[in-house]
Structure 1
Amino acid sequence: MKILLLNWRDPLNPDSGGAEIVTLEHAKAWVQHGHDVIWFTSRFKNSSKEEDLNGIKIVRYGNVMTVYFYAFFYYFFSGNKFDLVIDEIHGIPFFTPLYVKKPKIAFIHEVAGEIWNYMLPFPLNLIGRLTEFLYLKIYKNMHFWTDANSTIDELVKNGIKRENCVAISCAISNKTLSKIPVKENVPTFIFVSRLVRMKGIEDVIDAFSLILEKENKARLWIVGGGSDVYVKFLKNMTDKKGLSSKVKFWGKVDERKKLELMSKAHILLHASVKEGWGLVVIEAASQYTPSVVYDVAGLRDSVKNSKTGVVISENNPKKLAEEALFLYKDKERYQKYQEQGVNWSRSLSWKNITSQSLNMINKYDKKN
């Protein structure tokens, strides 16, 4: 089949994230099994208009806003006859139901919902929420592909038929450790994500200040990049709370360093508004580091509560701190979660995961 994959970013874009990593793994598998994949996306500074990535043809037009407009013209005038279109949604869809008559799948990592309130000021946040509400009406008869069952629940609440939805978990690309690594000699908590408000870093810092009241030698590592303005805000926040000597901002690091820090930390903390899946949770588990997370879509799927980590019952810094301390101090339970977390991460191989998406798209292959 010839597949058109519409995504506002591609994996080589400096602003790409976990969603693009996941999409790339699936697209690579499709190419390896004989399908032609064109990834239509936006341009970024010094990017090529076209290039090959693991057998996938990357085509770039416009920016992250205008790419939706250019996609319409590319579909009709590129000279390609597509058999299947993957409409990957990041807040705004490509509105393919309005012009694509061929088979199509909506690939959504999360229903944004309240995320709009964290990412945009009033009244733009309301416009975002209204846009999402309206486009889901347009997409009501589409087939949806997502990462987590909890996202399917949210789609159903928004009028999408459950029988039109499929959840395919995300795997990790790194190797799982074969034995428990040496951890830091003081209680060390880690947060790994892009530094934006919706990822919950402010709640994690608040939770850590409460942890310090019980464990005054504790440390917090913040791993990930963000805008200069927001990082400065977070550093000022830690200063005002008297945490500067206890909190380290590592910034954006490479994969090797990220996994090294995960392996040395005791517990990963995550307080996101919601996630598509929570890939960092699985990565941390592969390094024998359990997670304590908010009970939100995505995170409640990637963390097996009371088996590989803790999904807290109340989403607030106080409860996050309490559960993190309980787990750290309960050595028997902590080691149990370490072992079960590693086994959970091992079960999520890309070979197994991509076979599911291959089965999904092959249903649209007229050759079968």
Structure 2
Amino acid sequence: MRILWLNWRDIKNHEAGGAEVLTHEIAKRLAKKGHKVTLFTSRFQGSESHENIDDVDIVRDGGKYSVYGKAKNYYKHNKDHFDILIDEINVKPFLTPKYVKEMPIIALIHQISPEQFTYELPFPVGIIGRYFLEKKWLSHYNNISTVTVSESTRKSLVELGFRKVSVITEGLSVIPLQEAARKEDTFTITFLGRLKKHKLPDHAILAFKKIREQIPNSHMNVIGDGYLLRKLKKMNIENVTFHGHISNKEKFNILSRSHLALIPAVREGWALVVVESNAMGVPVVAYSVPGLVDSVQNGINGILLSQNTPDEMANISISLLKDESKLRRLTETALQYSKRFNWDSTTEQFEKILLDNT
């Protein structure tokens, strides 16, 4: 197959997240299977307009907002070179059902984004986006074969009128440890994610503040970058280290020596950080929200909170840190849980959907 894949970011974009990891891991495996994969995406500072990464052809044009119009133009001038199109939707869709008539479309949606509109955009734009724009945009995809990564998102899409939704399992880009690594001598908590409002990094830090009241020598790592970094630093919570954007090697080293990972959010598609933490022998304490209720198996690879508040996150974390045997069991089962996931299986599932639609 000759595949045209549209996404707003690629794996080299400094704002790339779990969605871009999935895109790249699947795309490079499809390329190795003999499919020709072209990813059309936006430009970013220092990027090349054309690049080949792991046998995937990357074409970059336009910025964060103009990439959608550039993608439409690219399609119109190159449609004869492709057999199928993947429209990956992250908040704003490419709206390909309005102009792609010559080939099948597969929509790839990690999560719907009602909360992101109101958390990330000013009033009244956020309200318009949440209650009108998203529903209007996505209505164009009701009869399009759609792929998502969690049962939570599938249910949300069906409620919006989608008729053809398949769920694929997520993979894992790091090899799980054979056994949990030696932990830091002092209790260490880690938050991993983009520092944006809808990720609620401030909730994790507030939870740690309360943890320190009970366990004064504990330490927190914050791994990730974003516009909230300066504001979070101004919270002036002691024993918190902000690492910013770091290499995977550094990230996994820090994770492996942590006792717990805190994952608050308003909504996730799945949250790769859950199984990445588990693969390093780190259980998670997470909010009970769509996406996290799919990736966190309560009592196996982490704990889902009954109340999504910093206080409850702190209380559960403290109880785990003070119960050595329970924390050790949860660490072991979390590590075993992570070994279920691999990108080869994910790619097989995704490829079957592509073949069934061509």
TM value normalised by structure 1: 0.93
Q: How does 1:185-264 map to 2 (within 5 A)?
A: 185-227=185-227, 230-237=228-235, 239=236, 243-244=237-238, 246-264=239-257
Secondary structure of the corresponding residue to residue 277 of structure 1: coil
Equivalent residues in 2 for 1:261-280, closer than 5 Å: 261-280=254-273
* Residue pair 2:223, 2:244 contacting (<8 A) in 1 also: yes
2:94 and 2:59 map into 1 onto residues whose CA distance is 16
Match of 1:181 in 2: 181
Q: Distance in 1 between matches of 2:125 and 2:110?
A: 21
**Partner amino acid, structure 2, of 1:288:** G
Q: What letter matches 2:257 in structure 1?
A: K
User: Deviation at 1:81?
Assistant: 3.6
SS, match of residue 177 in structure 1:
coil
Match of 2:160 in 1: 158
Q: RMSD value over aligned CA atoms?
A: 1.4
Query: How far does the alpha carbon of each residue in 1:300-339 deviate from its partner, in whole angstroms, 9 at most, with x for none?
Result: 1111111111011111111111111122222222222222
CA distance in 2, matches of 1:68, 1:79: 16
- 1:320 partner letter: M
User: What are the ranges of 5 or more consecutive residues in structure 1 without an aligned counterpart?
Assistant: none
Give SS of 1:94's match.
Answer: coil
Aligned to 1:50: 50
Whichever residue aligns with residue 66 of structure 2, its letter is: T
Task: Describe the superposition over 1:212-246 as per-residue Cα deviations: whole angstroms up to 9, x where unpaired.
Answer: 2221222111111123xx22211111x2xxx23x2
Aligned counterpart, 1:291:
284
Q: Which moved more, 1:277-286 or 1:164-173?
A: 164-173
- What letter corresponds to residue 254 of structure 2 in structure 1? L
Q: How does 1:349-368 map to 2 (within 5 A)?
A: 349-365=342-358
Please name the residue that 2:319 is paired with.
326
Whole-angstrom CA distance in 1 between matches of 2:169 and 2:321: 28
How far is 1:88 from its partner?
0.4
- Is the Cα–Cα contact under 8 Å of residues 87 and 94 in structure 1 kept in the other structure? yes
- The answer to whether residue 107 in structure 2 is matched with residue 128 in structure 1 is no
CA contact (8 A) 1:169 1:277 kept: no
> 2:8 matched to which residue of 1?
8
SS class of match (1:114): helix
Distance of 1:258 and 1:44 partners within structure 2: 23
> 1:79: Cα distance to partner?
5.5
- In structure 2, stretches of 5+ residues that fail to align are none
Q: Distance in 1 between matches of 2:256 and 2:94?
A: 39
Instruction: Tell me what 1:146 maps to.
Output: 148
For residue 297 of structure 1, report the CA deviation from its aligned partner.
1.5
**What is the aligned partner in structure 1 of residue 108 from structure 2?**
107
* Residue in 2 that maps onto 1:313: 306
Higher deviation after alignment, 202-211 or 287-296 = 202-211
Output the CA distance in 1 between the equivalents of 2:324 and 2:155. 35
Farther off after superposition, 96-105 or 9-18: 9-18
In 1, Cα distance between the equivalents of 2:318 and 2:169? 29
The alignment status of 1:339 with 2:332, answered yes or no, reads: yes
Other structure's SS at 1:288 match: coil
TM-score, normalised by the number of residues in structure 2: 0.96
After the TM superposition, list the runs of 4 or more consecutive aligned residues in structure 1 that deviate by more than 6 angstroms.
none
Letter in 2 for 1:158: L
Measure the CA separation in 1 of the matches of 2:7 and 2:281.
Answer: 33
Q: How many equivalent residue pairs? A: 356
Moved more, 47-56 or 311-320: 47-56
- Paired with 1:155 and 1:326, the residues of 2 have a C-alpha distance of 37
Shift of 1:128: 2.1
Identity of aligned residues (%): 37
Cα offsets for 1:155-212 (capped at 9, x unmatched): 1222223xx1111122121121112211111221110111111111111111112212
Question: Matches of 1:302 and 1:231 in 2, distance apart?
Answer: 26
